Structure 1
Amino acid sequence: GYVGPTRDLFVDDGVPYLQSLHVKNGRIDFARRPYFVPPEWAAARPRISLSHEDLLIVQTGGIGEVGIIDDNFVGASCHALLIARTRRDLLLPTYLWHAFRSHWGRHALLREQTGALHPHLEAGNVRFMKLPVPSLDTQERIVARTEAVARDTQVIHTSLVRRLALQAERRQALITAAVTGQFDVSTASGRNVTDGVPT
């Protein structure tokens, strides 16, 4: 991505300009703080114009964060991010994305960082990282299985969040019932303790 001064670069509307703060948990979260650059400025720098399924690797700060470009950000530009493009006849972008997001991949990136005060990834070091590259059929199977597990994990996470919220609600209801005298806690055995407590 572009590396240079941006103080007078940004405009209210134009070409989306992605930065490391937008790459979180494998996704592009542009809504958290959108930046735009003039279309003519972006057009003069085609090298940083993003294509479908380009990988963005955070270069400074949140080392190990990797995002993948979907249709929403085709044509966007980026700042101080490494852009990885694969040879599609050898390596699926989604496979590389999942590989970098795995425990192994994240730590492989962390091993390449330099600088103690300001951790940084050198493009040259990342370019020569060795990655396991199975056949395309195997890559497709790995991607499909990984995404199925990720979907299951999200369903479980959503259920747990809902359950924790419900438990916190019931706990508060019990405390309120005890404080207001809806049941006598001095003699309560614990059985049927929620009788009469609103749910």
Structure 2
Amino acid sequence: MIKLGCDESLPNNWRWVEANDVMDVRDGTHDSPKAVDEGIPLVTSKNLVGGKVDFSTCNLISMEDHEAISKRSSVDDGDILYAMIGTIGNPVIVEKSREFSIKNVALFKFTKGTEVYNRYIYHFLNSNLAIRQFQSNSRGGTQKFVSLGNIRSLQIPLPPLDEQKRIAAILDKADAIRRKRQQAIQLADDFLRSVFLDMFGDPVTNPKSFPRGTIRDFVETVNYGSSGKASETEGEYPMLRMGNITYEGGWDFTNLKYIDLSANDKPKYLTQKGDLLFNRTNSKELVGKTAVFEEDEPMAIAGYLIRVRPNEHGNNYYISGYLNSYHGKQTLLNMCKSIVGMANINAQELQDIKILLPSIELQNEYEKIVRATKSKLKSFDKSAEWLDDNFNSLSQKAFAGEL
């Protein structure tokens, strides 16, 4: 583990420690238990969202498999979960309302009488100091992961317990203000899922008696992205990769790379407003991430993405709404093929996905609601950036012993 910051001076009563010296740090199962219709949730990296565990998209496993996993990695109230693969991080303090098992997730356990406070560790795991350590030691090409060994050797600046609690209380208050926007986004996502079901009904029972077909019925063109090498700093166009699409169907434009395209390649690899982008290769839990591109300026797409443009019968907001629904996510999870730890859904398989075929007029009405909802959220963007900058500055001072 690269020991970033460990030569930095700390207040006299602080000390640098490795995570596993002051906590019991474990990981979940390395196996792939068989999914069952009724059973115990298996929480993976994708289920750590906004400081909570999202059980709605978990696979279920048998009680026998759960008990076998729990012998090694039982999860209790107050423990911290940390994603080890894909989008590394997203720590969650467990508030255990039900039994569950973990996979691709690190587990920080806190014993009675411990010298560390879980909320202090939670905020540290979200800090730039911790993130830089993990980024320096993460491995993998298209699918990043951090090993249990690196998590165990994470370097933590540790003050006395009372000071940990004081710092955590300050950061809790600052974080609560910052999270109001995240809650607004979650509420908007929940609202749009409700609108989708209200307008189009359950895809299984089809209560509105729409014709049934496949995504192919709505498609004009489908293109794979470029396999060209992108640069960290140089290139005419930003290049969208799998990490730029969020699991919920949004966009994260941090960590962009750049590429130049020839005149012949521009029509094949550039996006335009309204394109649907589909992540065709990723971990099994994350393959199939889908979002509609809404930016005014074009961007290039990498080879792990598929660009879909609809015909006169289809609307990409409707297709995206379905693929990001609970039923759509389960369909993608059940159909993807794993190849050496990665999963894949190709362009033909994407187009073969079964879908209801409502009228284009109804699809367009859904688009209007989606766009209006997202437009309202944009008013939060500038204040959110200011809040993030201030919180990060406060966090940096906190873990340097300057609060």
Q: Return the TM-score normalized by structure 2.
A: 0.37
Which segments of 5 or more consecutive residues in structure 1 lack a partner in the other structure? 169-199
* Residue in structure 1 matching 2:105, options 81, 91, 95: 81
What's the counterpart of residue 114 of structure 1?
139
Are 1:19 and 2:230 an aligned pair? Answer: no
| TM-fit CA distance, 1:157 | 7.1
Tell me which amino acid in the other structure corresponds to 2:72. R
What's the counterpart of residue 178 of structure 1?
none
34-43 or 126-135, larger mean C-alpha shift = 34-43
8 Å CA contact retained: 2:134, 2:150: no
Q: Return the TM-score normalized by structure 1.
A: 0.70
| TM-fit CA distance, 1:112 | 2.0
Q: 1:96 to 1:20 in 2, by over 3 A?
A: same
Q: 1:115 to 1:154 in 2, by over 3 A?
A: closer
8 Å CA contact retained: 1:2, 1:79: yes
RMSD, aligned α-carbons: 2.8
Q: How does 1:137-176 map to 2 (within 5 A)?
A: 137-155=162-180, 165=376
Q: 1:141 to 1:41 in 2, by over 3 A?
A: same
Counterpart Cα distance in 1 of 2:100 and 2:378:
44
| TM-fit CA distance, 1:139 | 0.8
Q: Secondary structure of 2:155's match?
A: coil
Counterpart Cα distance in 2 of 1:70 and 1:22:
14
Q: Secondary structure of 1:132's match?
A: strand
| TM-fit CA distance, 1:17 | 1.1
What's the counterpart of residue 24 of structure 2?
none
Q: 1:139 to 1:14 in 2, by over 3 A?
A: same
**Total equivalences in the alignment:** 163
Counterpart Cα distance in 2 of 1:112 and 1:166:
35
8 Å CA contact retained: 1:65, 1:106: no
| TM-fit CA distance, 1:63 | 1.5
| TM-fit CA distance, 1:66 | 1.9
Are 1:38 and 2:51 an aligned pair? Answer: no
Q: Secondary structure of 1:114's match?
A: coil
Q: 1:108 to 1:78 in 2, by over 3 A?
A: same
Q: How does 1:38-77 map to 2 (within 5 A)?
A: 38-45=62-69, 46-73=71-98, 75-77=99-101
Q: How big is each residue's C-alpha offset from its partner over 1:72-96, in whole Å with a ceiling of 9 and x where there is no partner?
A: 24x3101121112235521112211
Q: 1:14 to 1:138 in 2, by over 3 A?
A: same
Which segments of 5 or more consecutive residues in structure 2 lack a partner in the other structure? 1-27, 189-372, 380-403
Greater strand percent: which structure? 2
| TM-fit CA distance, 1:58 | 1.3
Counterpart Cα distance in 2 of 1:34 and 1:117:
23
8 Å CA contact retained: 1:53, 1:93: yes
Paired-residue identity, %: 22
Tell me which amino acid in the other structure corresponds to 1:35. N
What's the counterpart of residue 2 of structure 1?
29
Q: How big is each residue's C-alpha offset from its partner over 1:12-54, in whole Å with a ceiling of 9 and x where there is no partner?
A: 22222101110123321222x1222111221123212211122
128-137 or 116-125, larger mean C-alpha shift = 116-125
Counterpart Cα distance in 1 of 2:120 and 2:66:
29
Tell me which amino acid in the other structure corresponds to 1:151. A
In terms of Rg, which structure is larger? 1
Q: 1:153 to 1:140 in 2, by over 3 A?
A: same
Q: 1:167 to 1:108 in 2, by over 3 A?
A: closer
Q: 1:124 to 1:27 in 2, by over 3 A?
A: same
Counterpart Cα distance in 2 of 1:64 and 1:36:
23
Q: How big is each residue's C-alpha offset from its partner over 1:121-162, in whole Å with a ceiling of 9 and x where there is no partner?
A: 111121112101111101111111111112223457779x99
What's the counterpart of residue 115 of structure 2?
90
Q: 1:166 to 1:42 in 2, by over 3 A?
A: closer
Counterpart Cα distance in 2 of 1:103 and 1:167:
26
8 Å CA contact retained: 2:86, 2:145: yes
